[in-house]
């Protein structure tokens, strides 16, 4: 009974934290809400007119939405990668960061589900694909698998984050026997969501660009570069703006781990390119379209090379200890790796998979304005979810905001007493 009462206080206090803040916080949330509004408006237009307002067509039937979805599944998976050194090697400096990783995963998953939702032609039939409620074609369809693992992963992370924060709020130590197995479970789950998403493409014999055995390993390798890149920048912002102490050591350790995964990612990309280009079968045409253009169509070419070059420079910056531990070069590296993987796992994966199409036609796809606005709205939604979670989580993690202590309310109480 008291648990129930405490939990409802936890909820109301959380709501109070996220609705009170400084002018910068309000401005940031207002900006995100504005962007969400713009996205929602574009989506309403799409609902009325159909997906005709996108630039996807029968030839290229997936585009910007599914590209972003794929990239974000990687972010969601990689956020948990930090849990591996923290728990397996019991490496203390990273441990406090894992809850941030889990919140990042939740936000990324919210965006993933958003991108799937806006991509389907009949959102009114979304219930058909829901477990129990609908009729999932499981275990045949990889998309059915993906729906299951993504939702399970979301629930798992959501539970762990809520539980840890609730414990911090009620000033109790969390039950290790409950948390440790769940956190350990989230590691294979993280691998499985990205593997499932890779298999979704991998299993299609009709698309030689995707039908390669190293697609899933490439997905994981690239995700383990981009996910931590986001976290590294986030951690630096957090320790500047909050009292959260994150040791340099932790940041440099993550950067070192990233250097290895980046090297591996570049190696896998090279292995794939070599096989296709050297053997030169009819399947080469998709790589050609990506890297050199086909029949004068070369929209993707500058992006593809930008991705490779950014990745290579970032790899060198993270490999050399001197540049890895220099804040300027470290942050440049993070931005470069993020850009590199965003291109590679977004448009660089989806578009050459579908171009030329199954009958050899080249339809040059670039996202329409609607697609860009809707995507922007979904990213803003993800940022909003993350912002709100951080806003509530940081003071709780620091022990500043608990069931017995709430600085804001004390201050307010003090103020109300002043005139008297």
Partner 1 sequence: MTAQEPCQPSSGGQCPSTEEGSRREFLGVAVAAVAAALTGCEKLSAEEFLQDKFTELSKSEVQTVIARLEKEYKEKYGKEVKVGNAPPVPGVIFGYALDLSRCIGCRRCVHACVKENNQSREPEIQWIKVLELEKEEGVNLQHAEHYYNPDEVPREGHFYMPVQCQQCKKPPCVKVCPVGATWREKDGIVVVDYNWCIGCRYCMAACPYGARHFNWGEPQIASKDVNPETHYLGNRPRPKGVVEKCTFCIQRTREGKYPACLEVCPTGSRKFGNLLDKESEIRYVLENKRVFKLKEELNTQPNFFYFYGV
DSSP 8-state symbol, 100: H
Q: By CB under 8 A, tell whether 279 contacts partner 1.
A: no
Question: What number of chain residues touch partner 1 (CB under 8 A)?
Answer: 54
Of 15-23, 126-134, 177-185, 234-242: span binding partner 1 (CB under 8 A): 126-134
Nearest CA-CA partner of 98 in 108, 83, 81, 77: 83
**Burial group, residue 403, by CB count within 10 angstroms (0-12, 13-18, 19+):** middle
Q: By CB under 8 A, tell whether 252 contacts partner 1.
A: no
The H-or-E segment that residue 349 falls in is helix 347-354
Of 9 and 135, which has the nearer Cβ to partner 1?
A: 135
Shortest Cβ distance from residue 366 to partner 1 (Å)?
A: 9
Q: By CB under 8 A, tell whether 126 contacts partner 1.
A: yes
Shortest Cβ distance from residue 354 to partner 1 (Å)?
A: 7
Shortest Cβ distance from residue 349 to partner 1 (Å)?
A: 12
Q: By CB under 8 A, tell whether 142 contacts partner 1.
A: yes
| Alpha-carbon torsion (252, 254, 257, 263), positive or negative | negative
Of 17 and 154, which has the nearer Cβ to partner 1?
A: 154
Any bridge partners for residue 297, and if so which?
294
Q: By CB under 8 A, tell whether 41 contacts partner 1.
A: no
Distance CA 215, CA 200 (A): 10
Instruction: Go through 359-397 and write b for each residue having 16 or more CB atoms within 10 A of its CB, e for each that does not.
Output: eeebbebebbebbebbbebbbbbbbbbbbbbbbbbbbbb
Residues 54-93 that bind partner 1 (CB under 8 A): 54, 56-59, 61-62
Of 221-229, 314-322, 337-345, 348-356: span binding partner 1 (CB under 8 A): 348-356
Phi, psi of 297 (to 5 degrees): -90, 105
Distance CA 194, CA 70 (A): 8
Of 4 and 205, which has the nearer Cβ to partner 1?
A: 205
Shortest Cβ distance from residue 113 to partner 1 (Å)?
A: 13
Q: By CB under 8 A, tell whether 141 contacts partner 1.
A: yes
**Burial group, residue 188, by CB count within 10 angstroms (0-12, 13-18, 19+):** exposed
Q: By CB under 8 A, tell whether 139 contacts partner 1.
A: no
Instruction: List residues near partner 1 by CB under 8 A.
Output: 45, 48-54, 56-59, 61-62, 116, 119-122, 124-126, 128-129, 134-137, 140-144, 147, 200-201, 203-207, 282, 285, 353-354, 356-361, 363-364, 368
């Amino acid at each position: 009974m008291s648990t129930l009462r405490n939990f409802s206080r936890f909820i109301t206090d959380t709501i109070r934290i996220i609705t009170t803040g400084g002018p910068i916080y309000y401005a940031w949330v207002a900006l995100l809400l504005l962007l969400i509004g713009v996205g929602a408006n574009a989506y309403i237009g799409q609902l009325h007119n159909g997906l005709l307002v996108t630039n996807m067509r029968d030839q290229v039937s997936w585009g910007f939405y599914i590209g972003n979805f794929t990239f974000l599944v990687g972010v969601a998976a990689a956020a948990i990668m930090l849990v591996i050194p923290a728990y397996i090697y019991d490496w203390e400096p990273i441990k406090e960061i894992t809850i941030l990783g889990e919140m990042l995963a939740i936000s990324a998953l919210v965006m993933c589900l958003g991108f799937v939702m806006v991509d389907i032609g009949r959102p009114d039939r979304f219930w058909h694909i829901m477990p129990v409620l609908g009729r999932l074609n499981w275990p045949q369809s990889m998309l059915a698998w993906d729906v299951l693992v993504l939702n399970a992963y979301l629930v798992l992370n959501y539970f762990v984050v809520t539980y840890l924060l609730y414990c911090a709020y009620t000033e109790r130590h969390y039950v290790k026997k409950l948390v440790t197995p769940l956190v350990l479970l989230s590691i294979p789950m993280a691998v499985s969501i990205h593997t499932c998403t890779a298999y979704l493409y991998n299993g299609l014999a009709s698309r030689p660009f995707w039908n390669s055995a190293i697609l899933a390993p490439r997905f994981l390798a690239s995700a383990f570069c981009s996910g931590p890149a986001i976290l590294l920048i986030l951690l630096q912002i957090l320790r500047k703006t909050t009292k959260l102490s994150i040791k340099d050591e932790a940041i440099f350790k993550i950067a070192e781990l990233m250097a290895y995964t980046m090297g591996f990612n570049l190696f896998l990309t090279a292995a794939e390119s070599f096989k296709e280009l050297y053997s030169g079968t009819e399947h080469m045409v998709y790589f050609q379209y990506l890297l050199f253009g086909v029949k004068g169509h070369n929209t993707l070419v500058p992006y593809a090379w930008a991705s490779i070059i950014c990745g290579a420079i970032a790899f060198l910056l993270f490999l050399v200890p001197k540049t890895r531990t220099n804040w300027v070069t470290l942050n440049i590296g993070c931005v470069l790796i993020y850009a590199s993987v965003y291109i590679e796992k977004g448009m660089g994966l989806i578009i050459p998979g579908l171009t030329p199409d199954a009958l050899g036609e080249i339809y040059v796809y670039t996202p329409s304005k609607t697609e860009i606005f809707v995507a922007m709205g979904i990213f803003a939604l993800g940022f909003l979810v993350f912002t709100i979670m951080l806003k509530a989580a940081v003071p709780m993690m620091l022990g500043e905001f608990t069931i017995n202590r709430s600085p804001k309310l004390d201050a307010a109480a003090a103020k109300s007493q002043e005139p008297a």
